[in-house]
């Protein structure tokens, strides 16, 4: 279980001047299920790993767009606990790509004030990639312009299992366990829940992603494959979010 290295600082949003209704409704925390890399590659008669490469190349564009839009936390579903079932060559290729991306982008992320966090389990992640993830987390831990959660070897059910195990290990009294207690034991401890969850490629599934934290999130689905999800697509998602009447559990009229 990876424990976040710092808690969310509410001052990150208090110092922003909100001048319009659209600004006021900018989602503070956006999470993205980055789907469609394989289909993007297949349409171009390319191997699936080429789609994963194109998907990672898209990260810089979306990070910049999130900063421009005023998003303060971005959570990306990079690799699920179920993805280990994919062909070995595809998994190994993706792991190599992720190592390369960290090497290539870390210095710029740090210069631009991005704090990198890992959410998920470290078991089964190759040792070299583990070392690079830990280095990225440590190097950027004091940055506060944008928090980037990378959900790698992540599963929502596994996260809840890990939270329960941690509570039992610490001997918590069941009578004092409530929703706030459970939230403190999740990988996202100290962060607000996502306001908006985006899924690319047109699929209408949560795929075991942030199933606790996303209970009251707004969902937005686009047919665009992840490598094609650009600044305009993000803007469309936020504009749609601005039109929603968030009820946090209340029934629609």
Average pLDDT on 205-221 reads: 97
Does residue 251 lie in a domain region?
no
Report yes or no on whether pTM surpasses 0.75. Answer: yes
Average pLDDT on 142-149 reads: 97
Does residue 43 lie in a domain region?
yes
Does residue 107 lie in a domain region?
yes
Domain residues for the domain of 91 are: 26-203+214-239
Q: Predicted confidence band at 252 (pLDDT cuts at 50, 70, 90)?
A: low
pLDDT at 20: 38
- One of 9, 15, 35, 230 is an active-site residue; which one? 35
pLDDT at 25: 78
Average pLDDT on 135-163 reads: 98
Residues 45-55 pLDDT 10s: 999 999 999 99
Answer yes or no: is pLDDT of 138 > 60. Answer: yes
Average pLDDT on 146-172 reads: 97
pLDDT at 248: 66
Does residue 18 lie in a domain region?
no
Does residue 5 lie in a domain region?
no
Active site residue 230: no
Average pLDDT on 122-138 reads: 96
Active site residue 37: no
Answer yes or no: is pLDDT of 136 > 90. Answer: yes
Residues 171-211 pLDDT 10s: 999 999 999 999 999 999 999 999 999 999 999 999 999 99
Domain count, the chain: 1
Does residue 74 lie in a domain region?
yes
Residues 66-93 pLDDT 10s: 999 999 999 999 999 999 999 999 999 9
Half-sphere exposure in the Cβ direction for 203 (13 Å, CA)? 15
- Which has more confidence, 124 or 253? 124
CA distances for 223 relative to 16, 33, 145, 200, 237, angstroms: 32, 12, 30, 6, 12
Answer yes or no: is pLDDT of 19 > 90. Answer: no
CATH code, domain with 88: 3.40.1180.10
**pLDDT averaged over every residue in the chain:** 89
- One of 28, 37, 83, 178 is an active-site residue; which one? 83
pLDDT at 4: 38
Average pLDDT on 37-49 reads: 95
Answer yes or no: is pLDDT of 250 > 80. Answer: no
CA distances for 179 relative to 33, 77, 213, 215, angstroms: 25, 24, 11, 12
């Amino acid at each position: 279980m990876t424990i976040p290295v710092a808690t969310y600082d509410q001052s990150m949003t208090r110092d922003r001047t909100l001048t319009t209704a659209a600004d006021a409704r900018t989602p503070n925390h956006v999470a993205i299920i980055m789907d469609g890399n394989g289909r993007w590659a297949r349409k171009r008669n390319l191997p699936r790993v080429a789609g994963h490469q194109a998907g990672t190349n898209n990260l810089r564009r979306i990070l910049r767009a999130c900063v421009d839009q005023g998003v303060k936390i971005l959570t990306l579903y990079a690799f699920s606990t179920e993805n280990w079932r994919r062909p070995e060559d595809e998994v190994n290729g993706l792991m190599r790509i992720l190592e390369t991306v960290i090497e290539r982008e870390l210095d710029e992320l740090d210069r631009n004030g991005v704090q990198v966090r890992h959410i998920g389990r470290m078991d089964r992640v190759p040792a070299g990639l583990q070392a690079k993830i830990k280095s990225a987390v440590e190097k950027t831990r004091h940055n506060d312009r944008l928090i980037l959660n990378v959900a790698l070897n992540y599963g929502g059910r596994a996260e809840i299992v890990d939270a329960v195990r941690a509570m039992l290990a610490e001997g918590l009294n069941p009578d004092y366990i409530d929703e706030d207690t459970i939230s403190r034991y999740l990988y996202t401890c100290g962060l607000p829940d996502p306001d908006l969850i985006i899924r690319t490629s047109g699929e209408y599934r949560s795929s075991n992603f942030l199933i606790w934290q996303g209970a009251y999130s707004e969902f937005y689905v686009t047919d665009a494959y992840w490598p094609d999800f650009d600044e305009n697509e993000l803007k469309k998602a936020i504009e749609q979010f601005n039109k929603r009447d968030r009820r946090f559990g209340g029934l629609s009229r």
